[in-house]
Each structure stands twice: as structure tokens, then as C-alpha cells.
């Protein structure tokens, strides 16, 4: 477009040297501000805040680094089977897995702690991770343990308790003073431990009840949200654990008994979903819900295959409790997002490491 613009708009007057320097400095400040903003978001200016990496470092401090293994619940064994939904939970959740029908499941039984070769004991807490795999490509993963409530209700408390339980290099045992100091600041943990101690441990993996502990929300087809917790309750009758270790001194006696049990026939659990009432805490895993809460038996979990950890099976799955299908959503429990973040960090670290053989080997599982 022809114009009669003055030359000044076409050829701006040269900048003075101080003017140029001021503008250069301005550009520098803007760029630094952008870089600084990203460093801030990445937590570079808060080196004491608990992050997923520092959390996993905590596990490594207490248990050492065991190449290729989970940083927590390191000792484990794979199982597989299926879930037969009876449709009972469909009124609370529109999840595919709760429609009447069968869904394939893989799972992993485990013991807590970062030592993949830790000896089984009668008072070992038992873990069960499950991945329900409906046909539509969704997954429902859950990682449960056989305690009635969890011992802490915040990520920071979990971390502090972990470090307080670190064995003293001199005695090989945790410093009782540190644990005492932790408990003094955490009455919720003291209350939870009282509930936990009141309930005897079962004799094996196969007759234990595993609990979600954290609350979730079920979303129905009409959009109604119901606070829930779930448990898998064994068909096998409960037998209390013998107070002392069996005479065989088998370090894997709990796992070996489970292998024998599954090889003698499928092991079954009821999937019990309990609905919370308004006022029941959904953000505090240390507090049980009242006994009389409405619950449904959503179907039967059957585990009929057992395998040692190997490439591509449960070993290589992250049982992240926030891998959820449509129809199940997280609650406001702060442990959930933290678990997801820390599991992911542990998974990423171990994924690239050299894999050592697991405590339970293929020859243990062979009939």
C-alpha cells in the first residue's frame, strides 16, 4: 500500500548506547523470569519440600537399592484369574467391570518394605495388587493390604514414619526413641495401631482380607457420587497365624503355602464394597467407618494361576491405585495422589535397572 509515511517510521532513529544496553538488560530479565518461573514450578526453590523423588530416596535410605525391584513391597509373586461380577455394585458405579459378566484379572501378592528377599513371618503385613482388565481397554488397578486401617493419613507422616523406622547401623534395629517421638506427634497413628493390634493376623495369604484403606468415589450412570471403600474377603476360612515361625525355617513359607493352595484349586474372594454416609471421613485412612455401613458383595474374584515374577507379567506392572475406569474416581484422601506419584517414581527407577531374580523363582512355582 503506497503511503507517505515519514522516514522515521521506516528507519527508526539509532538507539543510543545506554538505550541499547537498557533494552538488552530488559530482554535478559524477561528471559530469566521465564526460566525462573519454570524452575519455581519444578520445585527448585523449595529443596525441603517432599517430592516423589525424595520420597523414593527415603525408601532407598532405609532399605538400600535393590536393582530392578520395587522400592516398597519389593518381595512378591504373580497370580492371575478372573472376576465374576454379579451386577450388584452397578447401582453405585457405571464401571464396565461391575456389569454382570467376567473380567480377566492379574495380581501380585507381596510383603511390605524394600527388601526383596525379606523372610516371611507370622506378623508380616500382606499386600495384594490387582489389575482388572475389561475388554474395552480400560483398567482398574488397586493395591491393598490386610490391615483394617492405614497407619498414617498424610504423605509427610508416611515419610517421617519410614525414616523413624530406619534400622540403626549399630544395633540393626530401629531406634525406639525415634519411633516414640514420631508417635508422640501422631495420635492418629497410635489410634490406628490399637485397631490393628486388636485384629489377629491370618495364617496365610489365601485366607486374608485385603482392604483398599483409602476411600474412593463410585459414580453411577445417573451421575450420583457415592463414597466407598472396598475389601476382598476370602472364601477360605480364617485361621489365626501361629505366634512363632514354623520349624521349617522356610523364608518364603507364606508364598510357598499360597502356591500349594492355588495349585490344589482356585482361591476365591468376595469383592465387598462399603458405602460411606455423609460425615464418614474420606480423607483419613486411619479411621475405620462404622460397622453398620451398607455394603454389597459385587462378585467373586478367582485366582487360579501362579507365576514367579518375570518379564512382562505382574513384575512389570505398576499397581497405581489411580489407574481407574470411568465410574470409579479418587476421593479427597491426600494419600491417593501421593501414592500414584511415588509408585510412578519407583516404577521409573526400577524399569531401567538390571533385574535380579526374585525370591520366589520359577522352580518354586513348578509343581
Partner 1 sequence: MTTDLEQFPVSMRFLHWLTAAMVLTILGIGVAMVASLADYHQLVSIHRPLGFLILVLVVIRFVNRQFSTMPAFPATVSSGERFIAHASEMLLYTLLFVQPLVGWGMLSAARYPIVLYGPLHLFPILPHSVMLYAALRKAHTVLAYLLFFTFIAHFGAVLFHTLILRDRLFSRMAPYRVPAR
Q: How far apart are CA 366 and CA 62, in angstroms?
A: 34
Count CA atoms closer than 13 A to 133's CA, side-chain side. Answer: 11
Q: How far apart are CA 22 and CA 230, in angstroms?
A: 64
Binder of partner 1 out of 223, 243, 265, 352 (CB under 8 A): 352
DSSP codes joined into one string, 15-72: PPHHHHHHHHHHHHHHHHHHHHHHHHHTTTT-TTS--HHHHHHHHHHHH---TTS-SS
Phi/psi at 272 (nearest 5 deg)?
A: -100, 125
What radius of gyration, in Å, describes the C-alpha atoms of the chain?
A: 26
Count CA atoms closer than 13 A to 92's CA, side-chain side. Answer: 22
Active site residue 73: yes
115-123, 186-194, 341-349, 358-366 -> range binding partner 1 (CB under 8 A): 341-349
288 part of the interface to partner 1, by CB under 8 A:
no
Q: Which one is catalytic: 73, 186, 270, 295?
A: 73
65 part of the interface to partner 1, by CB under 8 A:
no
For the CB of residue 109, give the shortest distance to partner 1 in the complex, in Å.
19
> Between 132 and 210, whose beta carbon lies closer to partner 1?
132
Give the containing element (helix H, strand E) for 162.
helix 155-164
Footprint (CB under 8 A) of partner 1, residues 104-143: 136-139
Binder of partner 1 out of 58, 76, 155, 234 (CB under 8 A): 155
36 part of the interface to partner 1, by CB under 8 A:
no
Q: Which set of grid coordinates corresponds to residue 72? A: 516398597
43 part of the interface to partner 1, by CB under 8 A:
yes
Site residue total, partner 1 (CB under 8 A): 57
317 part of the interface to partner 1, by CB under 8 A:
yes
340 part of the interface to partner 1, by CB under 8 A:
yes
67 part of the interface to partner 1, by CB under 8 A:
no
Using a 10 angstrom Cβ sphere, with 0-12 exposed, 13-18 middle and 19 or more buried, the burial of residue 273 is buried
Q: How far apart are CA 143 and CA 133, in angstroms?
A: 15
46-54, 113-121, 169-177, 300-308 -> range binding partner 1 (CB under 8 A): 46-54
3 part of the interface to partner 1, by CB under 8 A:
yes
> Between 344 and 361, whose beta carbon lies closer to partner 1?
344
Using a 10 angstrom Cβ sphere, with 0-12 exposed, 13-18 middle and 19 or more buried, the burial of residue 275 is middle
For the CB of residue 74, give the shortest distance to partner 1 in the complex, in Å.
15
Active-site annotation, residues: 73
Question: Under the rule (CB under 8 A), what is the footprint of partner 1?
Answer: 1-3, 5, 7, 9-10, 12, 15, 20, 23-24, 26-27, 30-31, 34-35, 37-38, 41-43, 49-53, 55, 136-139, 155, 311-312, 316-318, 320, 322-323, 326, 330, 334, 336-338, 340-342, 344, 347-348, 350-352
Amino acid at each position: 500500500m503506497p503511503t507517505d509515511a515519514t522516514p522515521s517510521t521506516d528507519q527508526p532513529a539509532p538507539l543510543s548506547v545506554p538505550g541499547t544496553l537498557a533494552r538488552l538488560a530488559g530482554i535478559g530479565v524477561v528471559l530469566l523470569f521465564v526460566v525462573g518461573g519454570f524452575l519455581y514450578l519444578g520445585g527448585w526453590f523449595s529443596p525441603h519440600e517432599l517430592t516423589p523423588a525424595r520420597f523414593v530416596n527415603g525408601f532407598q535410605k532405609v532399605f538400600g537399592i535393590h536393582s530392578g525391584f520395587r522400592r516398597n513391597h519389593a518381595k512378591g509373586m504373580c497370580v492371575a484369574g478372573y472376576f465374576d461380577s454379579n451386577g450388584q455394585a452397578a447401582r453405585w458405579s457405571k464401571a464396565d467391570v461391575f456389569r454382570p459378566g467376567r473380567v480377566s484379572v492379574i495380581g501380585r501378592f507381596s510383603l511390605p518394605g524394600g527388601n526383596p528377599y525379606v523372610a516371611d513371618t507370622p506378623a508380616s503385613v500382606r499386600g495384594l495388587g490387582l489389575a482388572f482388565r475389561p475388554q474395552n481397554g480400560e483398567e482398574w488397578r488397586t493395591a491393598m493390604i490386610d490391615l483394617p486401617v492405614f497407619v498414617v493419613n498424610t504423605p509427610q507422616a508416611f515419610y517421617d514414619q519410614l525414616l523413624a523406622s530406619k534400622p540403626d547401623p549399630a544395633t540393626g534395629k530401629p531406634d525406639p526413641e525415634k519411633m516414640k517421638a514420631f508417635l508422640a506427634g501422631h495420635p492418629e497413628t497410635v489410634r490406628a495401631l490399637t485397631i490393628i493390634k486388636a485384629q489377629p493376623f491370618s495364617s496365610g495369604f489365601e485366607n486374608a482380607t485385603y482392604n483398599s484403606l483409602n476411600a474412593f468415589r463410585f459414580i453411577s450412570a445417573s451421575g450420583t457420587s457415592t463414597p466407598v471403600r472396598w475389601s476382598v474377603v476370602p472364601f477360605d476360612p480364617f485361621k489365626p497365624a501361629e505366634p512363632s515361625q514354623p520349624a521349617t525355617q522356610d523364608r518364603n513359607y507364606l508364598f510357598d503355602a499360597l502356591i500349594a493352595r492355588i495349585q490344589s484349586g482356585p482361591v476365591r474372594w468376595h469383592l465387598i464394597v462399603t458405602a460411606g454416609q455423609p460425615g464418614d471421613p474420606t480423607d483419613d485412612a486411619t479411621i475405620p467407618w462404622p460397622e453398620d455401613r451398607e455394603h454389597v458383595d459385587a462378585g467373586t474374584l478367582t485366582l487360579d494361576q501362579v507365576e514367579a515374577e518375570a518379564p512382562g507379567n505382574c513384575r512389570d506392572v505398576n499397581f497405581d491405585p489411580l489407574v481407574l475406569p470411568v465410574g470409579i474416581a479418587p476421593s479427597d484422601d491426600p494419600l491417593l495422589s501421593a501414592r500414584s506419584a511415588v509408585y510412578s517414581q519407583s516404577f521409573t527407577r526400577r524399569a531401567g535397572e538390571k533385574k535380579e531374580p526374585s525370591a520366589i523363582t520359577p522352580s518354586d512355582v513348578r509343581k
